Amino acid sequence: MPGMWTTADHIDLLRRSLKTAVPYTSGVQALRKEDLGLFYRSAQLEEEKGAARYIDFSEGPSEESLAQLASACQKATFGSEAAEGDVLDEEYRKAGKIDVKDFSARLDIAAAGILDAIAPELLVSQDMKGKALRAEMYKLNVYGPGSFFKAHKDTPRGDNMLGSLVVVLPTRHEGGALTLSQNESKWVFDSASQLQAHSGSSVVAYVAFFSDVTHTVEPVTAGYRVTLTYNLFVTPASAPTTRITPPPELACETSLRALLADPKWFPKGGHLAFGLTHQYPMPRPYANSYSRSRNQSFIDTALLKGCDARLRNAAVRAGLQPQVRLMYRIREDGYAGSPALIVMDDPVEIGDVYEEFDMDFEIQEQGTIFKEVNERGRVPSKGTDTERAAKRQKTGEDEAAAEPEEDAREEDGEPVYWVTPPGEKNEAESGYGGYMGNDYGQGFVYGHAELFVRIPKVGEEGREVSADDDQ
């Protein structure tokens, strides 16, 4: 335990924990040769309907057989919010596709061990004990020379959709790396070089990632890159699963416990809030098919992804009760009343409301108002947090010293400190180039969510402060 750590250090550790996790897992899986066969039929050539072709990937398929497979493909489309549907635009995505009804792959990713390999990396929430991954085959894609797919997210097809799996079949090709990006980090999965390193043995390369992570297929410069893609869902497991607590999660727990033990930190209680790193499937705002009982939390915490899940697990382990909520800022552009931060347990029910003003009113009616406080849970009596920090730096004072702080006034709303800033308004980004999916989602779009951790006040259950500290 770092004895000299300040409140700011602990808060910083929690903040950084949301930025450092890798949102994907990848590998190379050896298979039996006979499991690398693929039957397909051409969806568009009438005379070929009913007649299937077979291609064997185990011995390095010939250029000719791959070209034949490519010519059996249709042009791949993608989803555009601006167009409110699927569009074909080869400036954005140039690739061939075969729909699941028109091909049959011998590969069984569960039997091959691929699902078992990726599950622990994707099922991070401690509520995932008793949960398993279910993979639903989505498409076969062929990326010939000059093919690519620009930056996009994979459209959520249900609120329990967690990730995407791409299996790259063994063909010689160059280019076509999958790049993933989140916050300021970037990762590359280069299937061409991975397969090259194992040429001569029957293997596939695979990558599984949280599907809200932005990804890009770089142009293929030579050969054919053939992929099977799957959507990954969370389902109940048939047998209980175990999970080892990873060290970064333990570090978050330690910092939370240290903060809770300090009687000067949030003495009157309040909330720590985190703008989550991942985005989550939310019902389309105007989708009238959406119904959910009011007492059910909007996002099942078991469905939290990666670093978000880790943070939530740490809070639970520290004895706290984290909750996923949605944040709305209202009255930003000059309507009566000052801007306010409203938090909801459900997306606002907007019904027939179209005007921004009415929407703000609805949100205020349905939500809880919060008052922002500093990282110690207090309101500085003079100046803002930033001004005070600048002054401290100048005078060399430490954070706990000196200037008077007050507890937040109850009538201003519940005190909240944002450890990481919230996502903007709770809307999916829109516009061509803004929100792009791999197809157009009818029911769900990605939205930002926030994790709220309620801090009990000193003396309340769950808040044992250090005995040797003065108060």
Ligand X SMILES: O=C(O)CCC(=O)C(=O)O
Can residue 162 be called a binding residue for ligand X (CB under 6 A)? no
Strand pairing report for 148-152 and 173-175: unpaired
Can residue 260 be called a binding residue for ligand X (CB under 6 A)? no
User: Least Å distance between CB 24 and Fe ion?
Assistant: 12
Write the CA distances from 349 to 159, 413, 443, integer angstroms: 18, 22, 16
Count of beta carbons in the 10 Å neighbourhood of residue 444: 21
> How far, in Å, CA of 110 to CA of 373, rounded?
49
Can residue 227 be called a binding residue for ligand X (CB under 6 A)? yes
The residue (of 58 and 155) whose beta carbon lies closer to Fe ion is 155
Radius of gyration (C-alpha) of the chain in whole angstroms: 26
> How far, in Å, CA of 453 to CA of 272, rounded?
5
Can residue 149 be called a binding residue for ligand X (CB under 6 A)? yes
> How far, in Å, CA of 466 to CA of 471, rounded?
10
Please give the structure tokens belonging to residue 283: 């019902």
Q: Which of residues 137-156 bind Fe ion (CB under 5 A)?
A: 154
Can residue 255 be called a binding residue for ligand X (CB under 6 A)? no
Residue with tokens 């893609």: 229
The residue number whose beta carbon is nearest to ligand X equals: 438
Contacted by 227, from Fe ion, ligand X, none: CB < 5 to 8 Å by type: ligand X
Please name the residues in contact with 355: beta carbons below 8 A apart, sequence gap of 6 or more.
Answer: none
Contacted by 304, from Fe ion, ligand X, none: CB < 5 to 8 Å by type: none
Can residue 98 be called a binding residue for ligand X (CB under 6 A)? no
Q: CB–CB of 52/68 below 8 Å?
A: no
The residue (of 154 and 249) whose beta carbon lies closer to ligand X is 154
> How far, in Å, CA of 230 to CA of 167, rounded?
8
Can residue 191 be called a binding residue for Fe ion (CB under 5 A)? no
Q: CB–CB of 94/68 below 8 Å?
A: no
Can residue 256 be called a binding residue for ligand X (CB under 6 A)? no
Can residue 154 be called a binding residue for ligand X (CB under 6 A)? yes
Can residue 167 be called a binding residue for ligand X (CB under 6 A)? no
Among 10, 157, 215, 325, binds ligand X (CB under 6 A): 215
User: Least Å distance between CB 186 and ligand X?
Assistant: 15
Contacted by 166, from Fe ion, ligand X, none: CB < 5 to 8 Å by type: ligand X
User: Least Å distance between CB 460 and ligand X?
Assistant: 48
Amino acid at 177: A
> How far, in Å, CA of 221 to CA of 167, rounded?
19
Binding mask 402-441 for ligand X (x = CB under 6 A): ------------------------------------x---
The residue (of 7 and 438) whose beta carbon lies closer to Fe ion is 438
The residue (of 279 and 438) whose beta carbon lies closer to ligand X is 438
Closest CA to 362 of 352, 373, 349: 349
Among 141, 191, 313, 438, binds Fe ion (CB under 5 A): 438
User: Least Å distance between CB 142 and ligand X?
Assistant: 10
The residue (of 283 and 437) whose beta carbon lies closer to Fe ion is 437
User: Least Å distance between CB 227 and ligand X?
Assistant: 4
What is the 3 state secondary structure string of 281-337?
Answer: EEECCCCCCCCCCCCCCCCCHHHCCHHHHHHHHHHHHCCCCEEEEEEEEECCCCCCC
Can residue 217 be called a binding residue for ligand X (CB under 6 A)? yes
User: Least Å distance between CB 78 and ligand X?
Assistant: 8
Please give the structure tokens belonging to residue 225: 């890159």
Can residue 166 be called a binding residue for ligand X (CB under 6 A)? yes
User: Least Å distance between CB 150 and Fe ion?
Assistant: 10
Residue with tokens 């910092």: 255
Q: Which of residues 436-465 bind ligand X (CB under 6 A)?
A: 438
User: Least Å distance between CB 408 and ligand X?
Assistant: 46
> How far, in Å, CA of 272 to CA of 267, rounded?
13
Q: Which of residues 105-144 bind ligand X (CB under 6 A)?
A: 141
Q: Which of residues 169-188 bind ligand X (CB under 6 A)?
A: 178
> How far, in Å, CA of 367 to CA of 343, rounded?
5
Please name the residues in contact with 185: beta carbons below 8 A apart, sequence gap of 6 or more.
Answer: 19
The residue (of 42 and 229) whose beta carbon lies closer to ligand X is 229
DSSP, collapsed to helix, strand or coil, labels residue 71 as helix
> How far, in Å, CA of 323 to CA of 298, rounded?
9
Chain residues binding Fe ion by CB under 5 A are 154, 438
Q: Which residues bind ligand X (CB under 6 A)?
A: 141, 149, 154, 166, 178, 215, 217, 227, 229, 438
